[in-house]
Structure 1
Amino acid sequence: MSSTAELKELASTVRAVLAKHGDRDVLRRAIDGEAGYDPALWTLLCEQVGVAALAVPEEFGGIGAGLVEALTVVEELGRTLHAPPMFGSAVLGVQALLLSGATEACERLLPEVAEGGRTLAVCWADATGWDTPGVHVEDGKLTGTAHYVLDGDTADTLIVVTADGCYEIDAAAPELTRTTAPVMDPTRRLTTITFTAAPANRLGGDPQAITRLREIAWATLAAEQVGAADACLQMTVEYSKSRVQFGRPIGSFQALKHRMADMYVLVESSRSAAYAVIADLARGSADPLDIAAARIHCSRTFATIVGETVQMHGGIAITWEHDAHLFFKRAHADAQLFGQPPRPLARPA
Structure 2
Amino acid sequence: MSSAPDLDLLPSDVETALRKTVRALLADRCPTAAVTAMYDGDRSLAEALWPALAADLGLAGLLVPEAFGGGGASAVEAAAVLDELGRACAPTPFLTSSVVATSVLLSCADVDVAREALGSIAAGDRTAALVVPLSTGPDASLPSITETDGLLSGAVRSVAGVIEADLMVVPVRTPAGVAVHLVESAAAAIEPVVSLDMARQLADVTLDGAVGRLALADGEAAIRSGLLAGAGLLASEQAGVARWCLEQTVAYLKVRRQFGRVVGGFQAIKHRLADLYAEVEAASAAARYAAAALAASEDVEIAARVAASYCSDVAVHAAEEAVQLCGGIAMTWEYPAHLYLKRAKADQLAWGTPSAHRAALADVVNLVVGAPPA
Q: Specify the TM-score bucket, using the shorter chain as the normaliser.
A: over 0.9
Distance 1:186 1:348, change over 3 A: same
- Local SS of the residue matching 1:124: coil
Mapping of 1:88-237 within 5 angstroms? 88-125=96-133, 130-163=140-173, 164-173=178-187, 176-204=188-216, 205-237=218-250
Cα distance in 2 between the residues matched to 1:128 and 1:288: 16
Report the more deviating stretch, 210-219 or 37-46: 37-46
- Local SS of the residue matching 1:125: coil
Structural RMSD (CA): 2.2
- Local SS of the residue matching 1:172: helix
User: Shift of residue 271 of structure 1?
Assistant: 1.0
Report the more deviating stretch, 207-216 or 337-346: 337-346
Asked if the contact 1:166/1:202 (under 8 Å) is kept, the reply is yes
Over residues 43-99 of structure 1, what are the superposed CA-to-partner deviations in whole Å (9 max), with x where a residue is unaligned?
A: 222333221121110110011012221221111111111121211111112111112
- Read off the aligned partner of 2:214 and give its amino acid letter: R
* Aligned twin of 2:68: 60
Distance 1:47 1:198, change over 3 A: closer
Asked if the contact 2:306/2:357 (under 8 Å) is kept, the reply is no
* Aligned twin of 1:336: 349
- Matched pairs, number: 347
Cα distance in 2 between the residues matched to 1:106 and 1:240: 51
User: Shift of residue 222 of structure 1?
Assistant: 0.6
* Aligned twin of 1:246: 259
User: Shift of residue 339 of structure 1?
Assistant: 2.2
Cα distance in 1 between the residues matched to 2:192 and 2:105: 24
- Read off the aligned partner of 2:222 and give its amino acid letter: A
Cα distance in 2 between the residues matched to 1:49 and 1:17: 9
Match of 1:282 among 284, 291, 295: 295
Asked if the contact 2:113/2:213 (under 8 Å) is kept, the reply is no
Asked if the contact 1:36/1:187 (under 8 Å) is kept, the reply is no
User: Shift of residue 104 of structure 1?
Assistant: 0.9
User: Shift of residue 37 of structure 1?
Assistant: 4.2
Asked if the contact 1:126/1:132 (under 8 Å) is kept, the reply is no
Cα distance in 2 between the residues matched to 1:109 and 1:335: 30
Asked if the contact 2:101/2:226 (under 8 Å) is kept, the reply is no
> Alignment identity in percent?
35
User: Shift of residue 162 of structure 1?
Assistant: 2.8
Distance 1:76 1:126, change over 3 A: closer
Over residues 157-199 of structure 1, what are the superposed CA-to-partner deviations in whole Å (9 max), with x where a residue is unaligned?
A: 11112342210011112xx200001011122111111011212
Cα distance in 2 between the residues matched to 1:3 and 1:321: 35
User: Shift of residue 36 of structure 1?
Assistant: 6.9
Match of 2:95 among 75, 83, 87: 87
Note the residue ranges of structure 1 that are not aligned, 5 or more in a row. none
- TM-score (normalizing by structure 1): 0.93
- Local SS of the residue matching 1:152: coil
* Aligned twin of 2:366: 348
- Local SS of the residue matching 1:51: coil
Cα distance in 2 between the residues matched to 1:53 and 1:126: 22
* Aligned twin of 1:32: 40
Higher relative contact order (CA 8 A, sep 6+): 2
* Aligned twin of 2:273: 260
Q: Is 1:13 matched up with 2:21?
A: yes
- Local SS of the residue matching 2:186: coil
Q: Is 1:43 matched up with 2:57?
A: no
Note the residue ranges of structure 2 that are not aligned, 5 or more in a row. 1-7, 368-374
Over residues 107-134 of structure 1, what are the superposed CA-to-partner deviations in whole Å (9 max), with x where a residue is unaligned?
A: 3222221122211111023998752224
Distance 1:286 1:279, change over 3 A: same
Superposition misfits of 4+ residues, deviation over 6 angstroms: 126-129
User: Shift of residue 212 of structure 1?
Assistant: 1.0
- Local SS of the residue matching 2:200: coil
Asked if the contact 2:135/2:350 (under 8 Å) is kept, the reply is no
* Aligned twin of 1:269: 282
